[in-house]
Amino acid sequence: MRIFDPHIHMTSRTTDDYQAMYDAGVRALVEPSFWLGQPRTSPASFFDYFDALLGWEPFRAAQYGIAHHCTLALNPKEANDPRCVPVLDALPRYLVKDSVVAVGEIGYDSMTPAEDTALAAQLQLAADHELPALVHTPHRDKLAGLHRTLDVIRESHLSPERVLLDHLNETTVKDALDSGCWAGFSIYPDTKMDEDRMIAILRIHGTERILVNSAADWGRSDPLKTRKVGDAMLAAGFGDDDVDQVLWRNPVAFYGQSGRLQLGVAAPDPLHEGNSILRGGE
């Protein structure tokens, strides 16, 4: 089973996770820039984070045979902090980087006017840079949030097939798919979605334009949830081709719209003793 996790925050994960993901079949992933748990206080803090997503993190991933790409943006939560908003002016410089395959995560958190402005501005940045957009749907007041998100997308220069709506569930999947956008589902240990509910959604809505991710980060989450969905699909009677479509071909097709996916990663180096991830001091 080849797996592409289209949404996972590897800066918060360990090398054990990379190894377990490789063993489970993960060969590619996209790491969206997001909130770190601890609020940032300046654009410079974003720049260091973007640099990690463009430098150190792909290096770590490659040592485990996994292709690493990222999406960059001012996230919805911090769009409300005037100390962070100037990062929008610096984004054009980062969106030209080779491994940036979308603008994201953008979208709504509390549905404030500041979030309206940041979402519209960043959808425009995506259109200007010929990039797709990864749009997070809010955790609170999700259905109303989805509708407001769809309104802003319709007013933007980005066509729906270049938008991935994420963190969907039973109440939002239909409207999301009807809009022409791609539909993403984050499978968590105990909130958002689980494997069985995902199977039920796939039975009703099919496997087209649907992506599954672990969204694993610094919170309680599981980087192997993609594999668990694949296993659950097979157990539920879906075929290998269905699994491959959801876990590989769909994310490749969506992010491939950037023209920047590089899926051939050199096999892990046989560097063992010298492996610099061993902190360069062992």
Partner 1 sequence: MPMSPTNPPLLTRKELDAQLGGAARAWLDEALAEAEHSAAHQDTEQPGGPYAAPSWELRYAAAGRYCGLEHADSVRALLLIEARAALPALTRLYEQGTAAERHAVLLTLHRLDLGPTALPLVEDALRTNDTRLVAAAVGPYGAAHLDPHNWRHAILKCLFTGVPVDAVDGLARRARGDAELARMLGDFAAERIAAGRSVPTDLTRVLELTTPGAAAPTEES
**Which residues contact partner 1 by CB under 8 A?**
47, 51, 54-56, 58-59, 62, 89-90, 92-94, 96-99, 259-260, 262, 265-266, 269, 271, 273-277, 279-281
Nearer to Zn ion, 97 or 192 (CB): 192
Burial annotation 216-246 (CB, 10 A radius, 16+ → b, else e): bbeeebbbbbbbbbbebbeeeebeeebbbbb
Least Å from the CB of residue 162 to partner 1 = 18
Least Å from the CB of residue 4 to partner 1 = 20
Which span (27-35, 56-64, 121-129, 253-261) binds Zn ion, by CB under 5 A? Answer: 27-35
Least Å from the CB of residue 114 to partner 1 = 20
Number of H helices, E strands in the chain: 11, 8
Whether the Cβ atoms of residue 104 and residue 73 lie closer than 8 Å to each other: yes
Return all residues near 182 (Cβ < 8 A) that are at least 6 apart: 161, 163, 164, 165, 209, 210, 211, 250, 254
Other Cβ atoms within 10 Å of 140 Cβ, number: 10
3-state DSSP helix/strand/coil percent for the chain, to nearest 5?
45, 15, 40
Rg of the Cα atoms in the chain: 18
Considering only residues 92 through 131, tell me which ones interact with Zn ion, judged by CB under 5 A: none
Which of 27, 29, 31, 34 is close enough to bind Zn ion by CB under 5 A? 34
Least Å from the CB of residue 135 to Zn ion = 11
Nearer to Zn ion, 152 or 217 (CB): 217
Q: Under rule CB under 5 A, how many of the chain's residues touch Zn ion?
A: 2
Nearer to Zn ion, 34 or 46 (CB): 34
The residues binding Zn ion (CB under 5 A) are 34, 215
